Structure 1
Amino acid sequence: MVKLHEVDPREQDGRDTLSRYKAQTRAASLASLEILENNTVDRVFCDWHDDFVVRKIIDGKTFYHFFQVKTKKKRNAQWSLIDIFGINNKKKPEDIVERITDSFAGKLLIHTVNFSASCEKVIFLTNIHVKDEVEDLLEALNEEDFTNKTLAALVEHFNNCFSDGTQLYKEHEVKSLISKFGIDPGVEYLKVEGAIFESIAREKIFQYSEIDLQYMEAREIIDNLMALVESKSVGVLPKSLDEKTLDELAGVGIDELLEVLSLSKIGYDMLTSGGDTKALKSLSILQRILKKTDTPKQLIDYAAKCKTEWDIWYRKYRHDVPDFNLMMLESRLSDAVKQRIVTGFGFTELKEDVERIFSDLKKEKCFTALSEEIVLGGLFSVMVRSQ
């Protein structure tokens, strides 16, 4: 009897295709995390016009970065000029226009024409490195030296390759468009095993979540992020879409990311406006606690608001309240939380605690600017510290 492992398969194109697609998904996933830390990046589009597209809003104007992801299995492989541009520094072939147009670079450069000033960059993203001849071209491009033979050929044939005839670009315009092209080689997180990707993603997630995330919790968030990107990459979309529909069907934005991170918009806004990073992380912990009790989203957002108001009050007034009174307040909050942990709690039970504590505090003149919402936020603060 012949066993399955004893005969070589006819082909493994499916496995190879899936591996390459996963690399594309990883790249788009990391790009989407830039939305959290970059004030200009507001959305990442998946599999629309290219493998993924980063949208930036700068001074009210929209700009795009187009990314094409290409991987090779052999780590010692290197991209050549022919591989990327369809031509090299040698004699130019008769079908040079078709070669350039159909090349990886050609499929990126067309965006510089279609989107004109809105296209800020077009990037060839890959897991392997490039040959010296490609490095030389990139160096020449960086120095705006178009005497490089391949660059000179691109300039010469640009209009024939990318212009529809209604607009012919002048030489300086062509050079400006070609200068938007770039290559990002040797990208570690594009490799098949994906270990580097997980490390980078986990580091970014830690930055915007609780610092003590367990490995499996971080793993779950990464998986959810990948699933989100994949969900935005599947299905054929209608050719005619308005901006809002495209954002929803193919784009990853801040709301989707915050959902993945279990972080409220209130908490995120607090960080981006220069708030307390530790308070932001504690908000993330609070939201995880409440999610485990199946608390509705609107109540979770309300709890985050109360917790934020408590943090603000505590920072502002703690030095105005005598130490003894402040310790007694924290003791009351702690006792209430301990009791609720034993008996179970919901917002109704917490309301009873808040009303009792707040009623006592109103009798003491040292507690100024306190409200029932702030006291409720204090209870949530104690819950977070108990984790």
Structure 2
Amino acid sequence: MPQLTLLTAEGATSTADLNESPGYTKPDGPLHSRVAYAAAHVVPLTWADNTPGRPAEVDWDATLDFRRAVYSWGLGVADAMDTAQRNMGLDAAATRELISRSAEVAREEGGSVVVGVNTDHVEAEHISIDEVIDAYKTQLHFTEEQGAGPVLMASRHLARAAESADDYRRVYREVLGAASGPVVLHWLGTAFDPSLEGYFGAVDWRAASDVLLEIIDENVDKVAGVKMSLLDAASEISVRERLPEGVRMFTGDDFNYVDLIGGDTVGRGDSHSDALLGAFAALTPVASAAIQALDAGDPARYLEILGPTEELSRQVFAAPTFYYKTGVAFLAWLNGHQPAFQMVGGLHSARSLPHLSRIVELANDARALERPELAMLRWHGMLRHNGIDVPGVLA
């Protein structure tokens, strides 16, 4: 049996049996027991100046082929989100082009796409509440013109400008009023972006959730759902239980998604969350197979398939959590979805070799390596390139 070489934090090596591909099959159409979006990343041109502060040069073929692969597994795509390096290397021009191209691919593939709407095209660090509203509306209208569903992302500008919860109520009221149809609200926790502390007018999630729910109740005809990314299952369940009828909870909890998505189906609660997850970009076939099991009325199989992935996801999203994008791109490279382990802004250097080794180990355990022998070949080559001896790999 082929042997994976792994690396500890102390620089020692060990080996593990390489598991075979699980052989998951693609569904005949979209999944139906849960609405699931994979928050997709971007692939840069390998020869581009992928260094911090440089404009993004995107490999559009690889980037869009990845989205086609997600659609082929029955999932939707959440694009131009933080997984695509919004506020961490993806500049405004590249963001607009990504939204436009991704929406076109969704139409071609018959897939569902939602995209991030933010205020990050404004270069000034501090702007007024009125300017925040205008900035949101600019991106909202562009997104709607492309035919994509909007996700109102948490705005750093708003977090800096807001003096009270009333400022949040006003911004969301005016922006939602300008939307032509329902949108998804996005609550991103400080583990993902420390500058968003106190979003919705309070540091305590209970007080902040009251404001969020008031915003939803006031604009319920314009809110399709809310994505919560606080990495706190209790807060998500609390908000989920209070949502108006017809408003979905999309879990963004990459630590606790198995039970949150399973919910009452697997005996873990009175309801369930749908999914909008960066983790699902890292393990799309596994996520699809698990939800297909729910579609078939087999919750035990769902837990058997998806349960082992949660430890992998916790490693990918380990602190500092905002560097999780490195793990997503690393797995895409291992699985053959991009030609090189490169990222916009040089972010591929944000995690250590032992951290990446643990991802390899857990992905192997969770059957998340789509082409195991290719993944082993690429990983061993990376180790050898960094001076780590690997049996059978030439210097």
Give the structure-2-normalised TM-score: 0.28
| Higher-Rg member (1/2) | 1
More helix, by proportion? 1
